[in-house]
Amino acid sequence: MTETKEIRGLKALAKRYARANRIAQHQALDLIAGELGFPHWTKLIAASKNGWQIDTEQMAGVEAFFKRALPATTFRNGDPEAMNRRFAYLEQAEHGMIGDHAYRLQEVFHDVIIAGEGWSIRVPENPGVPPIVETFADQEAECPVFDPEFLQTALSLARDRALQVRAGIATDWPRRSTKPDLSGVVRHPLSGSESDVWFCLHCDEKITGTQIALNLWHCPGCGASPLDIFDTPFWSDDDGKSFRPVKTDGAVDRDEPDFRIVDDRPKPNLNEEKIILLIRCALLDDATNISERLGALRAEISVDDDGVWIALEDDLWPEGKDPVQALAVADRLGLEVELESCWSTIPFAWPGLGEIASNTSEYTQMMLDAYAQCGGSPDPKPKES
Ligand SMILES: [Zn+2]
């Protein structure tokens, strides 16, 4: 079945969007699918094979939605559903100014985020976790969050909103979830079970009813969400006897935010594969004829903690010829070089032909002619090896 024009259009949109926002294309496809009411792209394709069609209005809507430029830093690692919801939240974001700096204030999954050019502050839903201030390494110097007055204003805006968000959560939950009874029994807001002691699946700690209620059902020890909090430690071998009571200094907003510098500048990330590629490329610089170029392409190169090891085919690389460029590249990368000659089966006989041919096409003809003269077939068709 061929792809419809509409599906092709959606794919093109996803590609552009993925590029603009530096997310993977499959994430962008899933986002589009989400906008059209599918859990992910594969489901959309399956539906389209079964006759589902996007109508013009939907298409226009999706296009309008995805053509808007959105900051992507917080989207990069999100799962599609989370990202979809974030889009919805972004739509509802408030905008304002602190001094000369524009900000956007929004709620994302019960966290509150206030963000501007090069900075963001997240006040997590979990009242036990301090606000997280993020700045970008390349803009560190001029970032307004380093001005204490600015930071306080931004923090209080986010905190006020966080209070509203938490109040909203508590209102949605049963009263017993946020207010323990006289014996400290509380009700899990999601499962509905009741107990005066709770267990965190995440960190294996024991939590009292009062502690967990105060912390809006996030583990005071590790911050795990209400989904990881249970009234029985069903995963424990000893019914939770070994679980230690969680230590908490009272779950209230801590004043000191946690500063993090996000460094999203591109890095060379020089792994073995990339080093080998550079060294081989330099060997090609060093090659002065076809034979040596074949030698460069077939050189064995490996990289370890001690440096680079290069083995050049004796028949394809003149003995005693230093690969000057390759050595220079290794030097720039701070790597020691060990050079060796090796002997193996070379791809074509008469390597000397490669030393006199002026280009690969000429070499190919000379090599085929030589084989023909020996009675070998000059059949140029690729052979199954
Ligand atoms: Zn925990």
Q: What crossing angle do the helices spanning 5-21 and 25-35 adopt, rounded to 10°?
A: 120
CA distance 315 to 281: 20
Q: Give me the chain's average pLDDT, please.
A: 84
Q: What is the 15 CA–ligand 1 centroid distance (Å)?
A: 40
Q: What angle do CA 98, 100, 105 make, to 5 degrees?
A: 35
Domain assignments of the chain as residue spans, ordered by start = 5-70, 175-248, 272-373
pLDDT grade for 88, boundaries at 50, 70 and 90: low
Distance (Å, whole) CA 228 – CA 238: 19
Q: How close is the Cα of 232 to the center of ligand 1, in Å?
A: 14
Q: How much distance in Å is there from the Cα of 115 to the middle of ligand 1?
A: 29
Mean per-residue pLDDT for 132-139? 78
Token pair in block for residue 11: 């794919």
Task: Please tell me which residue, 85 or 363, carries the higher pLDDT value.
Answer: 363
Instruction: Express each pLDDT in 291-324 by its tens digit.
Output: 999 999 999 999 998 899 999 999 999 988 999 9
Contacts for 169 with CB less than 8 Å, ≥ 6 apart: 110, 125, 216
Query: Using an 8 Å Cβ cutoff, are 210 and 246 in contact?
Result: no
Least confident of 9-18, 80-89, 194-203, 262-271: 80-89
Question: What is the 225 CA–ligand 1 centroid distance (Å)?
Answer: 8
Between 112-121, 138-147, 176-185, the lowest mean confidence (pLDDT) is in 138-147
pLDDT of residue 83: 59
Q: Which residues line ion ligand 1, judged by CB < 5 Å? A: 200, 202-203, 219, 221-222, 224
pLDDT tens column, 246-264? 876 544 445 688 888 777 6
CA of 209 to the centre of ligand 1 (A): 14
Residue 205 Cα to ligand 1 midpoint, Å, equals 6
d(CA 217, ligand 1 centre) in Å: 10
Task: Identify which has the larger pLDDT, 155 or 252.
Answer: 155
The alpha helices in 76-146, defined as continuous H runs, are 80-91
Gap from CA of 233 to ligand 1 centroid (Å): 12
pLDDT of residue 227: 87
C-alpha 168 – ligand 1 centre gap (Å): 24
How many A from CA of 218 to the centre of ligand 1? Answer: 8
CA of 101 to the centre of ligand 1 (A): 38
Which helix (H) or strand (E) is 61 found in, with range? helix 56-67
C-alpha span between 169 and 216 (Å, rounded): 8
Query: Phi and psi (nearest 5°) for 184?
Result: 80, 15
pLDDT at 78: 47
CA 214 to ligand 1 center in whole angstroms: 15
In the reported structure, the alpha carbon of residue 258 is separated from the centroid of ligand 1 by a whole-number distance in angstroms of 20
Q: Which residue has the higher pLDDT, 310 or 2?
A: 310
CA of 226 to the centre of ligand 1 (A): 10
